[in-house]
């Protein structure tokens, strides 16, 4: 399959920084040790979230690509191209909407079908791990992908009064730029033609996009709290035959609180990966 560019040669560290620029939604069930938290970084950047399967995923490494075989490599290339195209369509639609309307109100409604399709399509990244064509943790990938699904389906889709919030635009823009950069990086890496700008963007855009995306997600969840508390949506009250209770309002509060310990770990991990890939620094991470 030939040699990859310098980014791929960086080994698993390059893919472990996959969420760089891809701000992930951090659910309370996410691992919290520095190494586990670091693997979740995607967004990237992750990521962030991120989304999709970033941590430890090293499918652009030459040795592992040779083991993938032609069909697996062809499928991953098609998948990455499709995802790049999908997020490009989202970006173009958002720009056109704002130029024509001059406001963000109604933006989410105009792109929601495309967003839901491509973000849900990312569930295939879990399948990639299960069948072994992407060598990364199924659990970590599952958390990354499900966190984005959570934000799209259980927050923005389900709570319509918040769809016109400015915070929704924040995370949509961060996600879109991140995913275009991320999937472009994967595509060009698999094709053995990685432009330096794509590599540079992958390891620099997250510096701004990750905080912007996280801020957008937190503000959107915060805006949803009054509606969730008033309606009791997705909550299970006692008494019931299963003798189980669940309060979605408090679940969202816990989710927001989980950003406090996880955000710094993920962000500084991505900064270390950036130095490693772009500047060749040797980074030694210690387990607790």
| Annotation says 100 is catalytic | no
- For 258, residues 6+ apart whose C-beta sits below 8 A from its C-beta are 26, 27, 28, 30
Query: Distance between CA atoms of 20 and 45, rounded to whole angstroms?
Result: 2
Q: Exactly one of 217, 248, 259, 267 is catalytic; which is it?
A: 217
Q: What does 81-133 look like in DSSP terms, one character per residue?
A: HHHHHHHHHHHHHHHHHHHHHSSSTTHHHHHHHHHHHHHHHTTHHHHHHHHTS
Query: Distance between CA atoms of 53 and 128, rounded to whole angstroms?
Result: 9
Query: Distance between CA atoms of 49 and 114, rounded to whole angstroms?
Result: 19
In this structure, are residues 122 and 86 in contact, taking their beta carbons and an 8 Å threshold?
no
DSSP 8-state code for residue 237:
P
In this structure, are residues 182 and 22 in contact, taking their beta carbons and an 8 Å threshold?
yes
CA-CA-CA-CA torsion sign (206, 53, 252, 87)? positive
Q: Exactly one of 108, 183, 203, 210 is catalytic; which is it?
A: 210
List the structure tokens of 215: 């801020």
| Annotation says 98 is catalytic | no
Which residues are known to be catalytic? 210, 217
């Amino acid at each position: 399959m030939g040699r990859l560019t310098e980014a791929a040669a960086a080994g698993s560290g390059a893919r472990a920084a996959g969420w760089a620029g891809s701000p992930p939604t951090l659910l309370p069930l996410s691992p919290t040790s520095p190494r586990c938290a670091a693997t979740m970084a995607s967004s990237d950047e992750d990521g962030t979230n991120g989304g999709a399967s970033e941590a430890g995923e090293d499918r652009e490494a030459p040795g592992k690509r040779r083991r993938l075989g032609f069909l697996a490599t062809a499928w991953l290339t098609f998948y990455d191209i499709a995802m790049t195209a999908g997020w490009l369509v989202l970006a173009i639609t958002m720009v056109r909407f704002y130029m024509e309307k001059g406001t963000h109100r109604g933006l989410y409604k105009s792109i929601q079908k495309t967003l839901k399709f491509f973000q849900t399509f990312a569930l295939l990244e879990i399948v990639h791990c299960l069948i072994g064509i992407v060598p990364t943790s199924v659990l970590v990938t599952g958390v990354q992908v499900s966190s984005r699904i959570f934000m799209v389906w259980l927050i923005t889709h389900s709570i319509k009064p918040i769809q016109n919030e400015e915070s929704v635009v924040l995370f949509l823009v961060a996600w879109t730029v991140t995913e275009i950069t991320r999937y472009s990086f994967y595509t060009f890496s698999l094709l053995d033609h990685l432009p330096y700008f794509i590599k540079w963007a992958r390891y620099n855009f997250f510096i701004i996009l990750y905080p912007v995306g996280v801020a957008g997600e937190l503000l959107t969840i915060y805006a949803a709290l009054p509606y969730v508390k008033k309606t009791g949506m997705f909550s299970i009250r006692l008494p019931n035959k299963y003798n189980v209770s669940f309060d979605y309002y408090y679940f969202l509060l816990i989710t927001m609180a989980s950003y406090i310990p996880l955000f710094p770990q993920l962000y500084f991990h991505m900064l270390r990966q950036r130095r490693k890939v772009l500047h060749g620094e040797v980074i030694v991470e210690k387990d607790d």
